[in-house]
Amino acid sequence: MKENVLKNNGLKSTEGRKLILDILESACEPMTADEIFVLARQKRELNFSTVYRTLSTLAEKSIIMKNIGGDGKSYYQLSSEGHCHYLVCSECHRRIAIDGCPFEEMRENIANETGFHITGHNFEFVGECPECFKKNN
């Protein structure tokens, strides 16, 4: 399947690209480039710049999604997983996915009113998770 996704997007099916897609496929939540790099290095000799360039290429082709978290870091996930909204703890930076998308109707209305072709959106609530809130109060 990975070979087809890469080929259909005009990309060579390299071991590095397949490995990064495997890592994102098995991830329970979006990952940073550093997290992906650590896991990739356990299986294959890759340098960080290769991982970063691969993530950029895959994001440009919309095979993966790149979102900027409240902590300023870039987070990556497979595009096929659909988009997700998050609660982000400003203390421990834990990310909790919110089920569903409360903005779908708004997106359709904005697209219809403006003629703008919306391809995606990001949204996060930033605050303190229950554990950090209890610890700090």
Known binding positions for Zn(2+): 89, 92, 129, 132
Give the residue ranges of the annotated binding site.
83, 89, 92, 104, 121, 129, 132
**Three-state DSSP class for residue 88:** strand
Q: Which two tokens stand for residue 120?
A: 């995606």
- Residue among 48, 43, 44, 54 at smallest CA distance from 13: 54
Question: How many Å apart are CA 111 and CA 120, to the nearest integer?
Answer: 11
Give the residue ranges of the annotated binding site for Fe cation.
83, 104, 121
- Residue among 116, 107, 11 at smallest CA distance from 63: 11
Question: How many Å apart are CA 15 and CA 44, to the nearest integer?
Answer: 9
